[in-house]
Structure 1
Amino acid sequence: MHQVPPPTFRVDGAALRTRRMQLGQSTTELATATGVSDSYIRKLEGGTRCRMRPRHYTALRAALRTTDTDLLTTEDPQERT
């Protein structure tokens, strides 16, 4: 039987960066708390990447003490013209 991949969350990189800076966290601190690499956090903030798997997204949201409303977007950065 064919398995469906887990859903992903589309993260607003600018909102992520704003919230991280409000909390005074470095990208390294946030990456450690989230369970991803520092490079991945920087790519999310810069718009190179925008999707996260549920486990990492939940950890990110908790580390930033914020909500889906503040962190998620429906816009895909690669679709911007």
Structure 2
Amino acid sequence: MEQPPATYQVNGAAVRHIRMRHGLDQKQAARAAGITASYLSRLETGTRTQMRPDTYAALRTALCATDDQLLAPIDEEPTREKR
């Protein structure tokens, strides 16, 4: 059985967009997810990007969102400078 990652990297702009689309302010969304409005604000502004699995799952549920909507894109290969 595959273990969940230690942390999830979230796309803060997507979190904000989905929250607003549902007509929730930060306090309402944070309360529904069991986090503080300050923590949610830091996620949305990109100050904080990593979330523990249980916290991420609670936010995803509160926003009725999918992983594809909330997770930051994963770079398949590191960008290399051309010389």
Structure 2 residue runs of 5 or longer lacking an equivalent are 75-83
| Alignment partner, residue 47 of structure 1 | 46
Runs of 4+ residues deviating >6 angstroms: none
> Aligned partners of 2:54 and 2:20: how far apart in 1?
22
Task: Please give the root-mean-square deviation of Cα atoms over the aligned residues, in Å.
Answer: 1.3
Tell me the equivalent position of 1:62: 61
Residues 39-71 of structure 1 show CA distances to partners (whole Å, capped at 9, x for unaligned) of 000000000001111111001001111100000
TM-score, structure 1 normalization: 0.81
Q: Where in structure 2 are the equivalents of 1:1-81 lying within 5 Å?
A: 7-74=6-73
% identical equivalent positions: 47
User: How many pairs align?
Assistant: 70
Considering fraction of residues, name the structure with more helix: 1
With structure 2 as the length reference, what TM-score do the two structures score?
Answer: 0.79
